[in-house]
Chain A
Amino acid sequence: DAGVIQSPRHEVTEMGQEVTLRCKPISGHDYLFWYRQTMMRGLELLIYFNNNVPIDDSGMPEDRFSAKMPNASFSTLKIQPSEPRDSAVYFCASSGGQVYTEAFFGQGTRLTVV
Chain B
Amino acid sequence: GQQVMQIPQYQHVQEGEDFTTYCNSSTTLSNIQWYKQRPGGHPVFLIQLVKSGEVKKQKRLTFQFGEAKKNSSLHITATQTTDVGTYFCAGRGGSYIPTFGRGTSLIVHP
Contact = CB atoms under 8 A, between A and B. Distances in A.
Name the interface size band of chain B: 10 to 19
Interface string B82-107: 00000010001000111111110000
Interface in B56-110: 88, 92, 96-103
Interface stretch (A12-20, A67-75, A79-87, A95-103): A95-103
Contacts of B44: 105
Contacts of A91: 42-43
Interface of A is mostly: strand
Contacts of B41: 107
B97 A104 contact: no
A42 B43 contact: no
A108 interface: yes
B88 A43 contact: yes
Contacts of B101: 42
Contacts of B100: 42-43, 45
A108 B42 contact: yes
Given A42-B102, A43-B88, A102-B33, A107 B96 contact: no
A48 B45 CA distance: 18
A91 B44 CA distance: 12
Interface of B: 33, 41-45, 48, 88, 92, 96-103
